[in-house]
A and B are shown apart, each in its own frame.
Chain A
Amino acid sequence: TQLLEQSPQFLSIQEGENLTVYCNSSSVFSSLQWYRQEPGEGPVLLVTVVTGGEVKKLKRLTFQFGDARKDSSLHITAAQPGDTGLYLCAAAVSADGLTFGKGTHLIIQP
């Protein structure tokens, strides 16, 4: 059973379009993180959300943490080819390392 369910798994859209990626769970988390990974590189932290209902913005990226702290979303406005990559949500469920969702492979076509 996957602790963090990410959707969609693959998404290919045209430059300028908007998109939303979802990260859902039946568990409650104290915090949740979003990462972006490019091929051949390690993941890079985009944001950490902590408070239920929290909304954080990073330029054209908007992150939201659900009120119940079980889910999160990433919305990209006016997507650009440079946004192409693997987007991962992750949570620390114990003192051990992070548990990742399966990721969303995003391709923005010029």
Chain B
Amino acid sequence: GAVVSQHPSWVICKSGTSVKIECRSLDFQATTMFWYRQFPKQSLMLMATSNEGSKATYEQGVEKDKFLINHASLTLSTLTVTSAHPEDSSFYICSALRTGGNGYTFGSGTRLTVV
């Protein structure tokens, strides 16, 4: 089955530093990956769509210069939270859309805590 690996599963960083989260499709190619954010007791909110070899598309209200997305290969997308602040603390989840297929596979999420 389709497997998406997300790393790290949790991270604590100091305010003002940057954190990189990786999302890998392990057994399939994904031209499109998605990044979501989920606050406690809330649902997933789409942040951006990451396309291999091109710029990411950001949802309204999401700062592209703060949340840097790189999708350099068909199996890897990264999300870098730059100059993190405590309000960026959240659960970040990626998903991948299998190339030529339908259906989204989700990673296991990354719990980011900014102190």
Contact = CB atoms under 8 A, between A and B. Distances in A.
Interface of A: 33, 35, 40-45, 48, 88, 92, 95-103, 105
14 contacts: A33-B104, A40-B91, A40-B111, A42-B4, A42-B6, A42-B109, A43-B93, A97-B36, A98-B46, A99-B46, A100-B44, A101-B43, A102-B42, A105-B41
Interface in B26-68: 34, 36, 41-46, 49, 57
Contact of B107 (A40, A42, A100): A42
A28 B42 CA distance: 24
B108 interface: yes
Interface residues of B, number: 24
B48 to A, nearest CB: 8
Contacts of B104: 33, 45, 92, 97-98
Interface string B7-36: 001000000000000000000000000101
A47 to B, nearest CB: 11
Contacts of B89: none
A102 B43 contact: yes
Contact of B95 (A95, A97, A103): A97
B106 A96 contact: no
B101 interface: no
Nearest to A88: B43
A33 B43 CA distance: 14
B106 A44 contact: yes
* A40, A48, A101, most chain B CB atoms within 10 A: A40
Interface in B58-115: 91, 93, 95, 103-109, 111
Nearest to B42: A102
Contacts of A98: 34, 44, 46, 95, 104
Contacts of B111: 40
Contacts of B44: 43, 88, 98, 100
